[in-house]
Structure 1
Amino acid sequence: MRRMIGGALAGVLALAACGTADEPDTAGGDTGGTTAVKLQLQWFVQAQFAGYIAAVDKGFYREQGLDVQILEGGVDIVPQTVLAQGQADFAVAWVPKALASREQGAGITEIAQVFQRSGTYQVSFADSGIKAPADLKGKKVGNWGFGNEFELFAAMTKAGLDPGRDVTLVQQQFDMQALLRRDIDAAQAMSYNEYAQLLEAKDPKTGALYQPSDFTVLNWNDIGTAMLQDAVWANSEKLRDSAFQDTAVKFLTGSLKGWAYCRDNAAECRDLVVKRGSKLGASHQLWQMNEVNKLVWPSPGGVGVLDETAWKQTVDLALTTKNQDGQTVITKQPEAAAYTNEYVQKALDALKAEGVDVNGTSFQPTTVELKEGGA
């Protein structure tokens, strides 16, 4: 889903290497008339990655002459490290996390910004009185750590709070149990995952599922401290080769066609994700598909195009926001080679020639009915 880095980057990189050591190297090899490609996800299979899964299952990669293998992520896998080590051709990673790895020497380049918006929330019970970041003062504030907290810390700093002194920071598990037990006052959540877990739980006072009105959500997009998340990264060394550049365009063409398909066929894409072995239930995955579509669509500049204003905000926050230990995500401006829209623009040109809607201007999310436990 997301695993940004904290101060101990070297240890995390070592974990990533251990988690993928048995994977053979890939170099875009040819397999029976198609080019073999590996895509490293940043988390377990779920609708967060539905566009890539649909591109495999619906044959969109095959149309481009590619045989794409999707590598599942996990707690001990850092996708940009797998990519930099040559064990994958492309990887999905949050921008701040990947920029930190680049600063540490990882040779990776962003080639598409699929998520146009942040999906991170800070959620509290409505009766807690937390209606703005300033209201977190004196509260027990949960966060996952590993750098995931920088949007939260940026919001608190903007509100005049010192994250290291004005709140009690609590290491949060990757679920919402601490909030539901009221062990903490506010919890970190992704709009497409943990927030739904709250709405899939029963209120012990009523015996019915919790409702959105039971909670207050701080959305960093609204507050102005959002940072760019799921992007497609490529190995910078491989991008020097013209043949791999062609592969990158073809990969993005298939991937973005998959995302357009999931925009228009959310329920079917949910089924494709469940079929692939997701551990999450059907109603939860449909919620996730719907919420992820909100992060992708509409895409005014074309799906996958990196907006330079959003890039600048992410970089500025990564440079200036400090965690409780006084560390920032990065310490210097990334060089111009950190990203390019060259390949995604070629992919969009190909898709528009096919008649694919690459902007999704008319996209409207649906209403999803969650079931207990996300079943």
Structure 2
Amino acid sequence: MNTKTILIFVLAILLLASCASPTPVTIIKTVEVEKLITPVPEPVTNLTKIQIPLGWLNNDEFVALQVAQAKGFYTSQKLDVTLISGGGSTGIDPIFAINGIDDSLRFGVPAALSLVLKAYAQGVDVVAIAAISQYEPGGFIGLLKDGKRATNPCDFKGRVVAMQTEAQWYVDALGAVCDKGPLVSGTDFTVIPAGWTPDCLLSGQCDFYCGWSTNQPFMLEQQGLKEGVDYEMFLASDYLPFYYSDVIVTTQAFIEAHPKMVKAFVAASMQGLQYTLDNPEEAITITSAIPGVTQEHAAWRIPAQNKIATSEDTQLHGVGYINLEKVQEMIDFLFKYGQIPASFKAEEVINNSFLPSP
């Protein structure tokens, strides 16, 4: 057999072998190579972990921050954010928590700017850097029965007022502005502690329940009660210069040490707030995934909260803006009625410089 014949014979054998093989090795290797070269998004690494103590339970009240988490706005700023229930729900005061020894606790969201002003007046290092809501939704709910009304602070006279944690001073300030003469708690009306729900109204244990217009009325409506027919509510902000709720705060010390992180956190948070305003239905879906939040409650609450997240100021300056003149009015009022020991300039406790440009 000559060399040419041998070569043809070998090639024939190889061809038959390849036809007989059910899973050629060459094809497997080709598939694996294709898998290796498929582009894969590079994961974000080196995230800074921060914990955010809130002014209440981590529920749909804080949907803007939850949206910032879910949509990756914090991650894009290289932040790994955890929201922590606080305020009267757990006893964790966001303002004092950010002054502790834990470096991951440097931002907080107390329920109202008035609490921030009181803390600053007492020497606490705290600076408000954004406001999720432009108005304080706190007010007083009363049932319409036996001729009783709930239209203004003068209606407190001779009545029982139920207050949630940390708000005794709040009702005292309201009593002081009754246009029929100042009312004093303990003398002209009785103040009792209350839980998170307006049950005392239904049981007859209280005449007024202090709650937020963006929360507790929903609980009454679940019982079949209708506003204007079975109950009514007046807002404290209709009688007192109380603006801004769910305020984002940090410390001056942290601002000086980590200005880039402050800017990053504010930017992502405000992006979450704006997204909530622009996409309420998606925001409802996101917050409904939080334990304890129902789709029904979120669908009722988010539109109500969105209404107080904007103002003439935000139209000019963007969401989160805090008006220094309004804050000064609050400071002067608190000092006048003995709620703080001394007055001070709003610029000392407000810093809008970290807000994104509108």
With structure 1 as the length reference, what TM-score do the two structures score? 0.74
In the TM superposition, 1:264-279 aligns within 5 A as 264-277=278-291, 279=292
Partner in structure 2 of residue 83 of structure 1:
98
- For 2:331 and 2:233, how far apart are their aligned partners in 1? 25
Report the 3-state secondary structure (helix = DSSP H, G, I; strand = E; otherwise coil) of the residue aligned with 2:162.
strand
2:184 maps to 163
> Structure 2 matches for 1:13-32, cutoff 5 A?
32=45
CA contact (8 A) 1:41 1:79 kept: yes
Displacement of 1:229 in angstroms is 2.3
Task: For 1:145 and 1:184, locate their aligned partners in 2 and report how far apart those are by CA, in whole Å.
Answer: 16
Unaligned runs of 5+ in 2: 1-43
Match of 2:266 among 236, 240, 252: 252
- Provide the C-alpha distance between the structure 2 equivalents of 1:75 and 1:194, rounded to a whole number of angstroms: 19
Please say which structure displays the higher CA radius of gyration.
2
Residues 225 and 99 (structure 1), Cα distance of their counterparts in 2 relative to 1, 3 Å cut? closer
| Alpha-carbon distance in structure 1 between the residues aligned to 2:65 and 2:165 | 27
1:1-375 alignment, distance < 5 Å: 32-73=45-86, 74-87=89-102, 88-93=105-110, 94-127=112-145, 128-146=148-166, 148-159=167-178, 160-164=181-185, 165-201=187-223, 209-213=224-228, 214-241=230-257, 244-277=258-291, 279-298=292-311, 299-300=314-315, 301-321=317-337, 328=339, 330-334=340-344, 336-344=347-355, 347=356, 349=357, 352=358
Equivalent position SS for 1:217? strand
TM-superposed deviation, 1:319: 2.1
**In structure 2, distance between residues paired with 1:339 and 1:276:** 31
> Do the aligned residues in 1 keep the contact of 2:161 with 2:206 (CA within 8 Å)?
yes
Contact kept, 8 Å, 2:236 with 2:242, in 1: the verdict is: yes
- List runs of 5+ in structure 1 lacking aligned partners: 1-30, 202-208, 323-327, 353-375
**Equivalent-residue separation in structure 2 for 1:237 and 1:211 (angstroms):** 48
**CA distance in 1 between partners of 2:173 and 2:116 (Å):** 19
Alpha-carbon distance in structure 2 between the residues aligned to 1:265 and 1:303 = 15
Q: Displacement, 1:271? A: 2.2
1:304 deviation in Å?
1.1
**Corresponding residue SS for 1:240:** helix
Q: Find the aligned partners of 1:259 and 1:37 in 2 and give their Cα distance.
A: 19
C-alpha contact 1:109 1:235 (8 A) present in aligned 2: yes
Kindly state the Cα deviation for residue 307 of structure 1 after the two structures are TM-superposed. Answer: 0.9
Partner SS, residue 182 of structure 2: coil
Give the root-mean-square deviation of aligned CA atoms: 2.1
Letter of the 1:250 partner, please give it.
Answer: A
Aligned letter for 1:75? Answer: T
Aligned AA for 1:190?
W
Say which SS state the counterpart of residue 296 (structure 1) adopts.
Answer: coil
Superposed displacement of residue 343, structure 1: 1.1
After superposition, give the CA deviation of every residue in 1:204-226 in whole Å (9 maximum; x if it has no partner).
xxxxx111121121112323443
Q: Which digits, 9 at most, give the CA deviation of each residue in 1:234-259, with x for residues without a partner?
A: 12212112xx2111111111111101
Between the aligned partners of 1:197 and 1:67, the Cα distance in structure 2 is 34
Distance in structure 2 (CA, Å) of the matches to 1:67 and 1:52: 12
User: Is contact 1:151–1:226 with CA below 8 Å preserved after alignment?
Assistant: no
Alignment: residue pair count: 300
User: Aligned letter for 1:77?
Assistant: I
Cα distance 1:109–1:225, how it changes in 2: closer, same or farther (>3 A)?
A: closer
Aligned counterpart, 2:37: none
Amino-acid identity (%): 20
- Structure 2 vs 1, CA of residues 149 and 226 (structure 1 numbering), >3 Å: closer, same or farther? farther
Runs in 1 of length 4+ with deviation above 4 angstroms? none
Structure 2: which amino acid aligns with 1:122? F
Matching residue's letter, 1:302: G
Q: Contact (CA 8 Å) 1:134, 1:156: kept in 2 or not?
A: yes
Residues of 1 paired with 2:138 and 2:219: CA distance? 14
Q: CA deviation at 1:168?
A: 2.0
Contact 1:99/1:334 (8 A) holds in 2: no
Does the 8 A contact of 2:287 with 2:293 survive in 1? Answer: no
Counterparts of 1:104 and 1:150, CA distance in 2: 15
TM-score for the superposition, normalised by structure 2: 0.77
Distance 2:210 2:65 in 1: 26
